Amino acid sequence: MNNRLWSGVRSMAVVAGGVALVAGCATAQVGRDFSYGEFAARAKQGETTRAEVEEWLGAPAGRGLVLEADGSRNDQWTYYHGSAKLPSGSDTRFKLLQVKFNAAGKLLSYTWSGEAGAPTDEKK
């Protein structure tokens, strides 16, 4: 594609994006979507490995460290996804999954926060 044509295509995309934003049709998204229900159905405390979690959910958005009250340190992976209609911010949705691994790389625990009506792990 030549430079003039490519420049025109980019300009049209910017105009179309602006029109959608003004019309209130645009949706802003952060993070990458994932299925908490599928994760919770498969995850087994003390058995599930880092590699399995990454296979199911993909690479985490963040990797960190948790210093526990007893002084132990555990790895923590963070997954999140959020969306909202612009410019009003209506229909806002956000979900967060934090997965903690022990020193052996096995699932220690996880924390879920998300949309009302999302599946819960009723086994525990």
Provide the β-strand partners of residue 29.
83
HSE, side-chain direction, 13 A CA sphere, residue 47: 4
Mean pLDDT of the chain: 81
HSE, side-chain direction, 13 A CA sphere, residue 112: 16
93 vs 19: which has the higher pLDDT: 93
Task: Confirm whether pTM is higher than 0.85.
Answer: no
> pLDDT digits over 20-40, tens only?
444 556 889 999 999 999 999
Query: What is the architecture of the domain spanning 26-113?
Result: 2-Layer Sandwich (3.30)
pLDDT band at 116 (very low <50, low <70, confident <90, very high): low
pLDDT band at 73 (very low <50, low <70, confident <90, very high): very high
Q: What 3-state class would DSSP assign to 48? A: coil
Rounded distance, CA 122 to CA 115, Å?
17
Q: What 3-state class would DSSP assign to 7? A: helix
HSE, side-chain direction, 13 A CA sphere, residue 73: 2
pLDDT at position 89? 75
